[in-house]
Amino acid sequence: MSKTILLWILALVITLAAAVYQRLTGPTYAQEVKVVIDGQDYNLELTTSHSVDKKCYLNFEIPSDDISGKLIYRRFPTNDKWTEVELLRQENKLVAELPVQPPAGKLEYYIDFQKGDESVTAPAEHPVVIRFKGAVPRWVLRPHIFFMFFAMLISNLTGLMALSKHQKQKLYGVITLFLLIIGGLILGPVVQKFAFGDLWTGVPFGWDLTDNKTLIAFLFWLVAVLGNRKKERPGLTILAAFMMLVIFSIPHSMFGSELNYETGEMIQGMIMLY
């Protein structure tokens, strides 16, 4: 096996591992909860992100007709009174609907299941927070994901090339920067505009974590590419690759746009990771 192929394999493994880690820790993916009702285990998925262009249904596969429940929710972060909605049975599922909020609006909610005198709350420790977003067309979302994934892949490959003194580390550094510009600085703001109404909410306009991660990664790679123009400086490449790996391993959208229900303004919020 050639050295270059080995580096590609290592870069792919690192990239996939980082992607899996971000998915498991990110706040925009459904929260998986296990509840025990009358000695029976049920695995539930609690939605944490939803598009404003369609109704928000919560579906729980609980076949037992003896089990009922309520959906309890309120706007987040507010001191509104909690609203209770009965779960409706549809064959082997219990179903309820959350009211769709404007883009960046949030609700916090939990489920209270009952069977006879037994009551079980899901999740047990704290409510789930769901954020609503505008519909992002596939023609922009898919290229954005594609370019960002390959930017991470080529970044990891370039860092490994610099570590092993591969002769093409400079070329692949330029490719990384190009992919990052297309995916992060061009398509990223377009996605943000569709989802929350603003092209850029990072520095100097705000502290949106996703935008600022992209900006920091871009600056490190810009320095690495410029620093390698006239002279091989693999240390700059290694640093840029390492920083990009660390930055994009931070849970996606943890600090993001949030609707202030009192003022109607879009502000930076925070989705807690418990």
Determine if the pTM surpasses 0.85: no
Does residue 97 lie within any of the structural domains?
yes
Task: Find the domain containing 59 and state its range.
Answer: 31-133
Alpha-carbon gap, residue 105 to 52, rounded angstroms: 10
Start-to-end C-alpha separation, the chain: 44
> Are 112 and 153 in a shared domain?
no
- Do 119 and 148 sit in the same domain of this protein? no
Q: Of 116, 133, 150, at which residue does a domain stop?
A: 133
Q: What stretches in the chain show pLDDT beneath 50?
A: 273-274
Can you give the pLDDT at residue 271? 53
Q: Are residues 127 and 258 in the same domain?
A: no
Asked if residue 162 and residue 53 are part of one domain, the reply reads no
**Do residue 68 and residue 191 come from a single domain?**
no
Backbone angles phi and psi of 190, in degrees to 5: -65, -40
pLDDT tens digits, 189-241: 999 999 888 888 777 877 777 888 899 999 999 999 999 998 889 999 999 99
> In the numeric block, which tokens belong to residue 13?
């493994």
Q: Identify the CATH number of the domain in which residue 117 sits.
A: 2.60.40.10
Q: Which helix (H) or strand (E) holds 271?
A: none
Please state, in angstroms and rounded to a whole number, the distance separating the CA atoms of residues 94 and 86.
Answer: 9
